[in-house]
Structure 1
């Protein structure tokens, strides 16, 4: 089973180039430039400020090279991003590792794997786009994070204000964000551990704002599927309680966002043994719980690993294997794993 989780999905798309997440179409904001970071701290709460970044990511057209570094691992991709009214189209081309091309048109994501001639076609639901920090419009974000100015900087030739998102407890990581001064587009992002050390960094190494990107041209490229075997995974929306699972104690700040069954390729319906994925978010960070039948021949009873800001752990629970993945401290994943209980 390939685990896909929705913690800063665009960053994961660059790392693995397996897909990106598209926001549901919304009316673009006014072209009037937003207030500066300093003034926004006085006139807006944290949710309004985060939504300003979210809106900026939807309203700008650009071409850039994006680099993600996590420990000794580094990946890069070329991005073409265009907006016309409520329509958004994006192309992400991997520059490192195996060749991959990811196209996104609104909520449709198509991943081309040229070496295997496979095309993965799927629809995704999410509120946020790059850098998908904002998972919901839940005003409780301010209960768990505070935002502070952290100077100014320059990234890929763009002047930026720097801000810190500081967690109020040890259940989540913090962020340092470089925000384009004029319109609020995020150009660099660092994920910080509980000691404020950098776990992962993602930034544009070059960026051309207002680039002459043609939406029609990207859509034509996206529709060139001849010679590819199309795979379209089925996701069946459900609830954890409907599948016989529950969290016996809530994790502070983390609310249920989505829950899906993942039938095997070619299946038309889901059954009880199909993998289950439930995603929780505090508005910024996300955690995904995966449940699947335990197979002693190929699965460990317990394991854990970390790659940059991404932490994961597994544990055997009865006849099932539970995998918890997220960009949160390992102790938070442990809370989720210990709280999950079968009602059957």
Structure 2
């Protein structure tokens, strides 16, 4: 896959305004396709120079429930089954990576809201998995989020290819169908393998969302959800605050240390960064960890802004 130069993407400034309206329409079509379109196929996933191939089955029933199964076809065995974006079972290496209650819900894009933080531009046409596609550029207006190049099926609006790019136009992540069929998968194809272990969702206790606040958030981001899971270090509840701007997302984990010896850390794998900062509170030290597809500097600033209290920051 090619990395699109920033200069090429910024060339969209020269596009006539009517194209921005068309871009909004295509974004809405993509959202609708994810909620209504049946399909199955295979795709390639790339980040940090590594590639993997996956099979996917995606079916929407008459009541609008979305069932999905993903199976890695090379390397270590990995599988996940989802219903309406919520992971119901996982196996293989994913068992340690998918938290109970973790969700990949269909994004309900609001183009007018997104245009406060991104420029939407139609960039031309392409061909993916043998299908004609429209290319949509989604470029950030500030340094706190990444840019996207989306290739949408001309017939249905289904996302066929996605490139995630940093501020220099360098490729961070690629998703791309190699084959796709617009048909409803059979029940047998949606059924997970015997090794796919069920997950139990553990929601945060009532009032847990009032325990923490952020003194600073990137413009456009707001608190979407609060979950709770058990700490691997102290076995105590860990709060997980989930933020989003309608497109990008990140989570903040707050883990009581109870005397455990841990150090600050930062890492990046493709577009995903993880920043951990030790913080002192009246109840003892807490490890604050920010994980998400946002620039490293933004994640560090969020981590340093976390405080005990009820009021959320106003971007």
Is the pair's TM-score, using the shorter chain for normalization, greater than 0.5? Answer: yes
Matching residue of 1:168 = 141
Matching residue of 1:104 = 82
TM-score, length-scaled by structure 2: 0.79
What is the aligned-residue RMSD (CA, Å)?
Answer: 3.3
Q: Do the aligned partners of 1:40 and 1:49 also contact (CA within 8 Å) in 2? A: no
Q: Following the alignment from structure 1 to structure 2, what is the Cα–Cα distance between the partners of residues 186 and 115? A: 26
Task: Pick one of 263, 272, 279 that aligns with 1:317.
Answer: 279
Residue 54 of structure 1: how far off its partner (Å):
1.1
Alignment of 1:90 with 2:68, yes or no, is yes
**Residues 173 and 145 of structure 1: is their aligned pair in 2 closer, same or farther, counting only changes over 3 Å?**
same
Alignment of 1:73 with 2:50, yes or no, is yes
Residue 258 of structure 1: how far off its partner (Å):
0.5
**Residues 70 and 117 of structure 1: is their aligned pair in 2 closer, same or farther, counting only changes over 3 Å?**
closer
Q: Do the aligned partners of 1:240 and 1:278 also contact (CA within 8 Å) in 2? A: no
1:114-193 equivalence runs, <5 A: 127-128=105-106, 134=107, 137=110, 139-193=112-166
Q: Following the alignment from structure 1 to structure 2, what is the Cα–Cα distance between the partners of residues 45 and 201? A: 21
**Residues 184 and 107 of structure 1: is their aligned pair in 2 closer, same or farther, counting only changes over 3 Å?**
closer
**Residues 75 and 140 of structure 1: is their aligned pair in 2 closer, same or farther, counting only changes over 3 Å?**
same
Matching residue of 2:6 = none
Q: Do the aligned partners of 1:110 and 1:121 also contact (CA within 8 Å) in 2? A: no
Q: Following the alignment from structure 2 to structure 1, what is the Cα–Cα distance between the partners of residues 153 and 121? A: 16
Matching residue of 1:217 = 188
Q: Following the alignment from structure 1 to structure 2, what is the Cα–Cα distance between the partners of residues 217 and 146? A: 42
Residue 105 of structure 1: how far off its partner (Å):
2.9
Alignment of 1:254 with 2:221, yes or no, is yes
User: Structure 2 unaligned runs (5+)?
Assistant: 1-15, 311-315
Matched residue SS, 1:54: helix
Which digits, 9 at most, give the CA deviation of each residue in 1:28-51, with x for residues without a partner? xxxxxxxxxx998364573x5423
Residue 323 of structure 1: how far off its partner (Å):
0.5
Which digits, 9 at most, give the CA deviation of each residue in 1:113-167, with x for residues without a partner? 269999x895555641xxxxx3664843211101112121111111111111011
Matched residue SS, 2:237: coil
Matching residue of 1:335 = 301
**Residues 239 and 167 of structure 1: is their aligned pair in 2 closer, same or farther, counting only changes over 3 Å?**
farther
Q: Following the alignment from structure 1 to structure 2, what is the Cα–Cα distance between the partners of residues 275 and 334? A: 19
Matched residue SS, 1:143: coil
Q: Following the alignment from structure 2 to structure 1, what is the Cα–Cα distance between the partners of residues 77 and 19? A: 42
Q: Do the aligned partners of 1:121 and 1:232 also contact (CA within 8 Å) in 2? A: no
Which digits, 9 at most, give the CA deviation of each residue in 1:278-336, with x for residues without a partner? 01111110111011023665632x11111111111111001000110111111111221
Matched residue SS, 1:151: strand
User: Structure 1 unaligned runs (5+)?
Assistant: 1-37, 129-133, 266-270
Q: Do the aligned partners of 1:191 and 1:198 also contact (CA within 8 Å) in 2? A: yes
Q: Following the alignment from structure 2 to structure 1, what is the Cα–Cα distance between the partners of residues 219 and 130? A: 40
TM-score, length-scaled by structure 1: 0.73
Aligned residues: 288
Which digits, 9 at most, give the CA deviation of each residue in 1:219-264, with x for residues without a partner? 6x34x75x87655252325566522x11123321101110111147
**Residues 122 and 336 of structure 1: is their aligned pair in 2 closer, same or farther, counting only changes over 3 Å?**
closer
